[in-house]
Structure 1
Amino acid sequence: MDTLHDGGNDDRIDAVRRFNRFYTRKIGVLEQHLLESPFTLTEARVLFELAHRGGALAKEIGAELGLDAGYLSRIVQAFTEQGLITRKPVPSDRRQFELALTAKGKQTFRRLERASQQEVGKMIERLPGDGGQRLVAAMTTIERLLDNAATGPEVTLRTHRPGDMGWVVQQHGVLYAREYGWDISFEGLCAEIAAQFLKNFDPARERCWIAEIGGQRVGSVFLVKHTNDVAKIRLLLIDPAGRGLGIGKRLVDECIAFARSCGYRKITLWTQSMLLAARGIYQKAGFVHVATEPHHSFGHDLIGETWELDL
């Protein structure tokens, strides 16, 4: 179990504030104007809202962006004088105004949008290797954690199809090298497991499930025949973009349900003591830790663990 010292909360607060300062500097919002345009960040956000809504009440824009009424009023007045927006009183309430972009306003927004896309594109291109993919995955995680009201993306599970095994092997190699420092021999082991699964695949008693979000693969698991009475879980993986959504639990639950339907009497699996998230999933599903075996693999001294679930 993870523990925190007395200053743990302060450390986390400092880390969040440090990241916030770094990120705001990186995207340039501390500059006087955004992307060398005549607009501040707040003004650009007002243009963005109007462009994507096709028009809105001033109070709606203020509420959406959390703007003071006086501050928003000054922005609206400036945009009106520049010919960027129209401002019409609402017939049912003359105190309220409906805002909409003019043709000039739409053109101005398009220029700003292109500049923003180009700037972000250049930033991503400068990242080495799969840095762009890792950046998006990390930002997705941050967004999901901070947006308590979000219902979360729709996750779908499906069985394997051509091309999936390459992804499973590649993701295992990349993620375990990056997160645990395991060497390429682990990727070789994953390739052997995937190859044997395809070569000996028994659709009546074996399955591979792939988890997807928006058509993108974010997780995998295999249930294979170990003996006539015992099934084995292998290659459980959750990509960073899919973590925190309960995907690991769903994949393991699918394995358990399928094993029962096939008449297996037990499920076994082999994991490592330091893979805490996976161990937590297995324990909550009812698996019991039955054996421990220290070993040297993948460039490290590890403690292997065997877990079992009686069906």
Structure 2
Amino acid sequence: MVEAEPDPVPAVRRFTRFYTRRIGLLNGSLLDSPFTLSEARVLFEIANRDRVSASDLTSDLGLDPGYLSRMLKRFESRGLVDRRPSADDGRRRDLRLTAAGQAAFARLDEGSRRQVAEILSSLNAIDRRRLVEALETVEFLLGGGAAISEPYILRPHRPGDMGHIVSRHGALYAREYGWDETFEALVAEIVASFIRNFDPKRERCWIAERGGAILGSIFLIRESDEVARLRLLYVEPAARGLGLGRRLVAECLAFARSCGYRRVTLWTNDILHAARRIYQAEGFRLVREEPHHSFGKDLVGQYWELEL
């Protein structure tokens, strides 16, 4: 029986309560300024964009148009913001900070920097890096961050990676397919053997990473001078749809060719449809199938090969 996944909602709400209290968002104003959090965010957007209109802010920040309109009128009455016709669209009016608005924002920005620096001052360099990586992971998983053409890097394995790979295989396959802990044990045996017998000239592990978070991995393991085996392809659910699985397999096969292998083999199960589609697209052919009972399930194992 698969253990139910713990409800993540209380943890997220607990962190939200902790952080809003930690940086003083429960107060009526932000950083002892005359501005609320919403007002400070609008000033930030105007200060940090080359051009921005009220409709841009409504859309990008999810603000109510009436609420934003009243806020901008207050800014204009205090001489912080003015509006100018756009140079390339006469129907559009761009917002701009006045000199007074720039000075007010500079004080806000500096106060925020000091506050965050104070929070980080109790952490050593390693813990600061861990914090930044964790924050980037949260932003990525919740769909934030600027769009970039390559949302991950591929790197070799390093200490600590193997335990993570074993853990994630065990957790993901239990949640998605109901496999029991014997699958995690098998993954542990594979990675332990890889580390003990690692031949860097003929074998490799690729780790896909973004912002310090591991998104997936794959192994190529030597079986003979002419045959290599592809093993343990996995991609985190949050990273699916990026083409990462296909990229990992392609890197694996390119390395196999550069090593002079003549054939790459792999073993999988027929229920792993996404992985099978990747293997087929790369030219692997199914050579045989056999039913088996493993990991607490009745499965159909498949053996695939690719002639290089």
TMscore range, shorter length: 0.5 to 0.7
Aligned position for 1:290: 287
| 1:258 CA displacement | 1.3
Highest relative contact order (Cα 8 Å, sep 6+), 1 or 2?
A: 2
Classify the secondary structure of the residue corresponding to 1:143.
coil
Superposition TM-score, scaled by structure 1 size: 0.66
Q: d(CA) in 1 for partners of 2:72 and 2:43?
A: 11
5+ unaligned residues in a row in structure 2: which ranges? 1-15, 17-24, 30-35, 88-92, 116-133
Give the percent of matched residue pairs that are identical in Structure 1 and Structure 2. Answer: 49
Counterparts of 1:165-180 in structure 2 under 5 Å?
165-180=162-177
Q: d(CA) in 1 for partners of 2:105 and 2:258?
A: 64
2:270 alignment partner, one of 270, 273, 294: 273
1:176-225, Cα deviation, whole Å (9 max, x unpaired):
11211111111100000001111111122111111111232111111111
1:141-199, Cα deviation, whole Å (9 max, x unpaired):
6738xx9x944553211121221111111111111112111111111000000011111
| 1:305 CA displacement | 0.7
1:226 and 2:223 correspond = yes
Q: d(CA) in 2 for partners of 1:91 and 1:52?
A: 18
User: 1:50, 1:56 within 8 Å by CA — same for their partners in 2?
Assistant: no
CA, structure 1 residues 37+183, in 2 after alignment: closer, same or farther (shift >3 Å)? farther
Q: d(CA) in 2 for partners of 1:308 and 1:106?
A: 64
5+ unaligned residues in a row in structure 1: which ranges? 1-26, 28-33, 115-132
| 1:290 CA displacement | 1.3
Q: Which amino acid aligns with 2:152?
A: V
| 1:78 CA displacement | 3.7
Q: Which amino acid aligns with 1:77?
A: K
Q: d(CA) in 2 for partners of 1:253 and 1:54?
A: 44
1:208 and 2:202 correspond = no
Q: d(CA) in 2 for partners of 1:220 and 1:214?
A: 15
CA, structure 1 residues 255+88, in 2 after alignment: closer, same or farther (shift >3 Å)? closer
CA, structure 1 residues 58+238, in 2 after alignment: closer, same or farther (shift >3 Å)? closer
| 1:49 CA displacement | 3.3
Aligned position for 1:127: none
User: 1:80, 1:87 within 8 Å by CA — same for their partners in 2?
Assistant: yes
Classify the secondary structure of the residue corresponding to 1:75.
helix
1:300 and 2:289 correspond = no
Aligned position for 1:143: 143
1:111-160, Cα deviation, whole Å (9 max, x unpaired):
9xx9xxxxxxxxxxxxxxxxxx9xx77x846738xx9x944553211121
User: 1:89, 1:97 within 8 Å by CA — same for their partners in 2?
Assistant: yes
Q: d(CA) in 2 for partners of 1:204 and 1:288?
A: 27
Aligned position for 2:238: 241
Aligned residues: 249
Superposition TM-score, scaled by structure 2 size: 0.66
**Cα RMSD (Å) of the superposition?**
3.9
Classify the secondary structure of the residue corresponding to 2:143.
helix
| 1:261 CA displacement | 1.6
User: 1:141, 1:240 within 8 Å by CA — same for their partners in 2?
Assistant: no
CA, structure 1 residues 70+242, in 2 after alignment: closer, same or farther (shift >3 Å)? closer
Aligned position for 2:178: 181
| 1:65 CA displacement | 2.5
Aligned position for 2:81: 87
Q: d(CA) in 1 for partners of 2:211 and 2:48?
A: 29
Q: d(CA) in 2 for partners of 1:64 and 1:50?
A: 11
Counterparts of 1:1-311 in structure 2 under 5 Å?
47-54=40-47, 60-66=53-59, 72-79=68-75, 86-88=80-82, 90=84, 98-99=96-97, 100=101, 103=104, 140=140, 143=143, 150-311=147-308
